[in-house]
Amino acid sequence: MVLTTMADLLHGEGMQIFKYNRDNSPFISVMLPELLQLSSGWIAEGRRNGEPMNLIVDLLDEPGFNAFAASVTEGDLIMINKDVFEILFDTARALVSHGIIMPEITSGETVTAYKSVGDPGLLAAGSRPWTISELADPVRDMLAYRIAQSGFIYILMHEMNHIFRGHLEYGAQTTGLALRAEVGTDRLSGPSGLEDETLEWDADLGAINHMLKMALNPITWPEDGTVKWIFNEDDGPTGTPEQGIQFGTLGPLICTLIFEASETSEWDDKAPRSHPHPLFRYATTVMNAVNVIEQAVSGPKDRLKAGLLSGLESLHESWRLTFDRHGSMVPSDDLDGFVAAHSDRIADYRETWFKLRDELNKSHRHGGFMSDLTQYPAGHQKV
Ligand SMILES: [Zn+2]
């Protein structure tokens, strides 16, 4: 495969790096270096063609909710649009302002709720439909920050999975460019088809599992091609088990809802896409959390399930209150049909992934937490 340079890639797509600093990106300038430091161990183990991995993570000077991963001459590249964290933080603050999501996390200060702020589709397009400021309760504001952080890490980890799990090199065989973009634009257009949907599903699974591990800090070990989990009974890095499962899932779920808000196709449209339908990505996030809990060797399973359910209900209610348009969020008019269609599509992804497996394994980056499961799609489960 012939790789392009980073400069040629950006120039060719008409894009520029956004040079972030403490003034123009106060949150990212602290958070991103910290996240990369936390990941440095397994990045060091990831190798490209036998050479040490050079991972470059930058912000892109583009509006809207998008990111891409690419493999270029200099190394492996993750680019995230400059406003992604701010879009997530605005959204999380508005959602948290209603006092429904994790109501126990509060100082008791009254917070003004952001109601009916407009069309959530504007979020993905890059214009923020409201002027939102810090919540009056600093404890609620910190909750919003951590939920937004969960969403940002999910996007970052989704791109990491594209790199580590061989998706870029595979895509290069069909498009000539080792790149995967999350949202197609005039300049960045992704290929579509069942194989592309499958790779996106695989990256989602890996990212969701990473989020659950970060939030719940289970003991894990590989065994017989799966990963066994034991959850902590005690409070973990993100609070109680009930709160931990919500920190691990709310960020990814909000990301899929932002994608959904600008989605024009229906979930029952079977035409090939670049990514699974956002409502399917939402359902996959939930199903995967349920699977992880149920297949865990031990731990507070009932409390985790209760926390997950409470998180889903409070997210739905808060989203409904926050935005004007929310009709398609839950296909409640045909839930059975939706569940069946989602499960059929997952079966298609599994079948497709196994067909691609040998090819993906050729460029799989053997390192860290992704090294043990190359014989299965990302995630811990075998079936
Ligand atoms: Zn992707």
Ligand 1 centroid – CA 23 distance (Å):
30
pLDDT at residue 324, as a whole number? 80
Ligand 1 centroid – CA 63 distance (Å):
18
Domain membership of residue 364 (yes or no) is: yes
Ligand 1 centroid – CA 203 distance (Å):
6
Q: Are strands 219-223 and 179-181 parallel, antiparallel or unpaired?
A: unpaired
pLDDT digits (tens, 9 = 90+) for 187-230: 566 667 899 999 999 999 999 998 999 999 999 887 776 778 99
Neighbours of 66 (CB within 10 A): 22
Ligand 1 centroid – CA 194 distance (Å):
14
Ligand 1 centroid – CA 138 distance (Å):
34
Domain membership of residue 110 (yes or no) is: yes
Domain membership of residue 379 (yes or no) is: no
As for how many domains the chain has, the answer is 1
Handedness of CA 36, 40, 44, 45 (dihedral sign): negative
Ligand 1 centroid – CA 131 distance (Å):
30
C-alpha 49/C-alpha 26 separation (Å) is 36
Neighbours of 280 (CB within 10 A): 25
Domain membership of residue 330 (yes or no) is: yes
Ligand 1 centroid – CA 67 distance (Å):
8
Ligand 1 centroid – CA 340 distance (Å):
24
pLDDT digits (tens, 9 = 90+) for 337-378: 999 999 999 999 999 999 998 888 888 887 555 554 556 777
Q: Which residue has the tokens 């989704």?
A: 158
Ligand 1 centroid – CA 190 distance (Å):
10
- As a dihedral over the C-alpha atoms of residue 41, residue 47, residue 48, residue 52, rounded to 10 degrees, the angle is 80
Ligand 1 centroid – CA 274 distance (Å):
9
Ligand 1 centroid – CA 325 distance (Å):
26
Instruction: Name residue 80's beta-bridge partners.
Output: 59, 67
Burial (CB < 10 A; 0-12, 13-18, 19+), residue 202, is buried
Ligand 1 centroid – CA 219 distance (Å):
28
The C-alpha R_g of the chain, in whole angstroms, comes to: 20
Domain membership of residue 184 (yes or no) is: yes
C-alpha 282/C-alpha 253 separation (Å) is 6
Ligand 1 centroid – CA 109 distance (Å):
39
pLDDT at residue 370, as a whole number? 53
Ligand 1 centroid – CA 182 distance (Å):
5
Ligand 1 centroid – CA 83 distance (Å):
18
Ligand 1 centroid – CA 163 distance (Å):
10
Domain membership of residue 248 (yes or no) is: yes
* pLDDT tens digits in sequence order for the chain, 383 residues long: 678 999 999 998 899 999 999 999 999 999 999 999 988 888 888 888 888 889 999 999 999 999 999 999 999 999 999 999 999 999 999 999 999 999 999 999 999 999 988 888 888 877 776 778 999 999 999 999 999 999 999 999 999 999 999 999 888 887 778 888 888 766 566 667 899 999 999 999 999 998 999 999 999 887 776 778 999 999 988 999 999 999 999 999 999 999 998 888 889 998 888 899 999 999 999 999 999 999 888 999 999 999 999 999 999 999 999 998 655 566 677 889 999 999 999 999 999 999 998 888 888 887 555 554 556 777 655 54
Is residue 5 within 8 Å of residue 72, measured between CB atoms?
yes
Ligand 1 centroid – CA 261 distance (Å):
17
Ligand 1 centroid – CA 146 distance (Å):
23
Neighbours of 313 (CB within 10 A): 12
Range of the domain at 295: 6-373
C-alpha 254/C-alpha 115 separation (Å) is 17
Is residue 224 within 8 Å of residue 124, measured between CB atoms?
no
Is residue 171 within 8 Å of residue 203, measured between CB atoms?
no
Ligand 1 centroid – CA 179 distance (Å):
10
Alpha carbon distances (Å) from 367 to 33, 50, 361: 20, 11, 13
C-alpha 144/C-alpha 138 separation (Å) is 10
Is residue 94 within 8 Å of residue 114, measured between CB atoms?
yes
Domain membership of residue 378 (yes or no) is: no
Helices (H), the chain: 6-13, 28-38, 40-45, 84-96, 121-125, 138-164, 167-175, 194-216, 241-261, 278-295, 301-322, 335-362
Domain membership of residue 381 (yes or no) is: no
